[in-house]
Amino acid sequence: MQKKAIVTGGLGFIGSNLIKLLLKNNFFVINIDKISYASNIYNLQNIKKKIKYKFYKSDICNKKMLNMILKKHKPNVLFNLAAETHVDRSINNPLNFVRSNIIGVYNILECIKEYIKIQKNFKMIHVSTDEVYGDIKGLKKSKEGDKYQPSSPYSASKASADHLINSYVRTYNLPIIISNCCNNFGPNQFPEKFIPKTIFNIIINKNIPIYGKGKNQREWIYVEDHCRALISLFKKGKIGESYNIGTGFIANNLKLVKKIIKIYKSNFDKKKHKIKIEFVKDRPGHDFRYALNSNKIKEKLGWNQLYSFNKALIKTIKWYLENPKFYNSKQRRKFDKRLGLIND
Ligand SMILES: NC(=O)c1ccc[n+]([C@@H]2O[C@H](COP(=O)([O-])OP(=O)(O)OC[C@H]3O[C@@H](n4cnc5c(N)ncnc54)[C@H](O)[C@@H]3O)[C@@H](O)[C@H]2O)c1
């Protein structure tokens, strides 16, 4: 029988990629997104008329609407990706993060508590982050069950949601699985995040900003590999457990930018234009290193990444070059202007 999935935050970066993959896998998909600066209708423009797809403009804090959607569509799974996601914005305005990332999750949990009384065949996959583990010392890698030590209001809001979920699993037997994934990159990502911002600035001939000395290290995954892992959690994951999702590809920001420039120049830039890096004042509380031990999902569920970093990066740069509409649409230009990404 055809499976039905709700994806919250489906107009954002990972959500829109997940929806495309779910549709390919023959799911009926219900997308709930409040439409914020990080959403882009363009992300899903080719699928909006599909019969297996339905969109609701709604906030996950709207309990009435969420209850109505659950009752009407009777999904087998809810992937929760709706969240405020940019660390810098969480430093300037933490309240938005508390609202969507904690109260929004509380709201979903309360609705699901009622929903599972009428629908037994149901799971929720909650998408969390490696940032909940905080700074990782030396060559250590975070394992599931390690202590949470979030540093920013963003990671603290995600950590709070994970704790709340675990308490609902234990107290009310809710059927939920949490994923803790490393940094994603790929098509559809709003260019305030590190990799798309670097690519975007190269394309529009602007300096590439790097925090501090560029020594902070992050682990990277191609978004499609993350989405495959989420579907595999739905199919084979164990209720009440958490799974790290990482690739083992860890690089510091300076090395990463140099790699992007090199790959851009050798594959796309015939004129070999000059690209400049600009070191800017570091972010307060900036974690030095995140790194995940992802053996559990690999050994227990048989998931593995399909893309090498270089192959995925070439695909990503190509996508940004071929989709100028992503940042040229009216709405996009308005936001980009506000962010100082474009001047006109
Ligand atoms: N991007 C990464 O590298 C990464 C890594 C690990 C985990 N995650 C997690 O994955 C999820 C998705 O991240 P992303 O990068 O796609 O984010 P994004 O910012 O690109 O998209 C988030 C989407 O959620 C929507 N949204 C926000 N608050 C909402 C609310 N209250 N109600 C309804 N919709 C709301 C926004 O409108 C937006 O379309 C987040 O939970 C994030 O914490 C992201």
Question: Is residue 13 in contact with ligand 1, taking CB distance under 6 Å?
Answer: yes
pLDDT in tens, 203-249: 888 999 999 999 999 999 999 999 999 999 999 999 999 999 999 99
Residues with catalytic roles: 130-131, 154
How far is 109 from 102, CA to CA, in rounded Å? 11
The pLDDT of residue 49 is 77
Domain contains 343: no
Measured CA angle at 155 (ends 84, 42), to 5 deg:
25
Q: Ligand 1: which of 11, 13, 111 to mutate, most ligand atoms within 8 Å of CB?
A: 13
User: Crossing angle for the helix pair 104-118 and 63-73, nearest 10 degrees?
Assistant: 30
Least confident piece of the model among 179-183, 188-192, 315-319: 188-192
Domain contains 331: no
Q: Ligand 1: which of 81, 195, 316 to mutate, most ligand atoms within 8 Å of CB?
A: 81
Tell me how many domains the chain contains: 1
Ligand 1 atom nearest residue 131's Cα: 6
What residue has token string 């980009």? 336
Yes or no: say if 44 and 9 are a contact pair by the CB < 8 Å rule.
no
Q: Which domain holds residue 293?
A: 4-186+221-249+289-307
The gap from C-alpha 317 to its chain's centroid, in whole angstroms, comes to 18
How far is 3 from 235, CA to CA, in rounded Å? 11
pLDDT in tens, 194-208: 999 999 899 888 999
Local confidence band at 272 (pLDDT 50, 70, 90 cut-offs): confident
How far is 95 from 89, CA to CA, in rounded Å? 10
Q: Kindly give the distance from the C-alpha atom of residue 14 to the centroid of ligand 1, in angstroms, as a whole number.
A: 7
pLDDT in tens, 53-97: 999 999 999 999 999 999 999 999 999 999 999 999 999 999 999
Q: Mark residue 320 as left, alpha or beta (left: phi above 0; alpha: psi -120 to 50; beta: remaining).
A: alpha
Domain contains 201: no
Yes or no: say if 132 and 163 are a contact pair by the CB < 8 Å rule.
no
Domain contains 316: no
What residue has token string 């940019």? 86
Domain contains 272: no
Question: Is residue 12 in contact with ligand 1, taking CB distance under 6 Å?
Answer: yes
* Average pLDDT in the chain: 93
pTM of the model: 0.95
pLDDT in tens, 273-312: 789 999 999 889 898 899 999 999 999 999 999 999 999 9
Q: In the predicted model, is pLDDT for residue 16 greater than 80?
A: yes
Local confidence band at 344 (pLDDT 50, 70, 90 cut-offs): very low
Question: Is residue 159 in contact with ligand 1, taking CB distance under 6 Å?
Answer: no
Local confidence band at 147 (pLDDT 50, 70, 90 cut-offs): very high
The pLDDT of residue 343 is 43
Q: Kindly give the distance from the C-alpha atom of residue 11 to the centroid of ligand 1, in angstroms, as a whole number.
A: 9
Q: Kindly give the distance from the C-alpha atom of residue 15 to the centroid of ligand 1, in angstroms, as a whole number.
A: 7
Domain contains 198: no
Q: In the predicted model, is pLDDT for residue 254 greater than 60?
A: yes
Domain contains 283: no
Q: What H or E segment, with its residue span, contains residue 234?
A: helix 223-236
Domain contains 214: no
Q: Kindly give the distance from the C-alpha atom of residue 274 to the centroid of ligand 1, in angstroms, as a whole number.
A: 34
Q: What is the CATH number of the domain that holds 82?
A: 3.40.50.720
Q: Mark residue 186 as left, alpha or beta (left: phi above 0; alpha: psi -120 to 50; beta: remaining).
A: left
Q: Name 242's Cβ contacts closer than 8 Å, sequence gap at least 6.
A: 128, 144, 145, 162, 177, 178, 179, 180
Q: Name 109's Cβ contacts closer than 8 Å, sequence gap at least 6.
A: 164, 165, 168, 174
What residue has token string 């590809």? 249
